[in-house]
Chains A and B, each alone.
Chain A
């Protein structure tokens, strides 16, 4: 099938060879698991267990709260030893409510929901519910609750794109999943397609993963609706909207979702997790991640129980190379990942890799003046002019930065990567987007407040009017009555004419 041209992008050094050939290895159960309540986009989950509670594998630990949220299940059997504030795997290094579980080593399953025997005959709503129950989120890194994306059925999509691009350097976990579990991924994708009501499944894989392409093509062979599409190696091909453009030729209008143009995108690992939830009733309690970087003794692809501490993973990989701490420890890929504040943070649902990067790999230099080489303009996959946006932001002129499209930036980092002056462009854009979003929130708050005040004023005005009207009608009624009485009196003759109107004292009272 034909692929479509996507503008811009870069060809970084991929450095995937370090782990590309390494089969997925299961991590032995760690001594302790720490499960933060917010492992997904949206509101944190709410604990349903308390300290001292014994749980079995797959038992619910925390339930979702709010419209966008996901539950958290026990990755193994053991005892909840604490629910406490712990450093989150987030660049802020701030603490977050975390459930601490001590495994008992038995790894006993608790009661699971029954498998959905024939998912292709099942009501899509049943599959939604199961995926939501299982706490599945996008495993490509964004960690958006998948069940909500299943709800996009209402937009009547016609294509499901399975994202196997894995365009970030170093990461090979999706590659390995496709190589080793191609049948499961295809099965999961077909279940997703059934739930979404789409007839066409496109599996997009960058051509630097030939083994995965072969395995997936073989697995998809029996299903005419499933097409494996090799796509050019071009970062950021895995970006949802750019991938959609590359495989379908459809360009998502600004401010819309891919579903608005009929396309739903899911990661390959997510498809596999959906299959396990549907066919076996397993919640999402582990994931495959890549450990890599020259700062690590050996690179590996590891199946990790959620909540595993990074320090345990590093140890499993033989520790830091020559015992020397790397320059940075990154969660995710080197392009869009974020630095980890410490080794004592857990793996969460959105963690797709842990990289120990050396100084040489990072090649961080002090920023120099912009020489307007235009490199950032030609690599920007969003068609922006990064140097100009950065210049506006440097002068805190966020309005103009917004006008020339800073909000259209996906923070892919291509501009920063290519910049000969090493200007941290993405840093500027993230700052601006943060500030603009905060201003938006303030503005919305003010608008809401204004609405409330205006509403109150309108109500008061209405009340006042109603009162006045009631008073006026009462007065009119009185007048009419008085007139009627007077008329009656007149009719009754002069004998009673001198008598005062009976109502008058009451009315004046």
Chain B
């Protein structure tokens, strides 16, 4: 145990560099997946057949490809096509695209859960599609969508570790590098696990808060 504390003090600063990158990747891909997910969901519920079909197939393609393959594609294949991305850019883009499919399905479920009478009431006072979405449907859907959205945040935090496969030195890769040069596997990976857990706990509490609020009405 004493050895662990000693190692912890020694490795903590290096691992913190990894934590910073983990947070950057998570927040970056969270924002991207939210924006893309919203766009897919809007296309899906637009009532325009072509848009809805494009969105549905896109979601299925994205869902059918493992995140790691998507990352390899962006990082190793895109340069052949003349688009060179830094490891960090490729990680954010890949995770953002991969998760946009789940976000889209989550948003769509939230939108479709809104009572049809709400939409008719909006139409009956002359609101068009976009105004109905913005003023009536989305504000109510947010309540429904937030708890699963929180869960996606937790999953993204953990899946950001997949960025290590394309050389982003986030927490998991930092740990692996230290472990392979010091052979202190137990200390290092226990520390890494604890650091992920520490970052997850606020998110878990946030989800619980969302769930309580959603249950109120």
| A and B from one complex | no
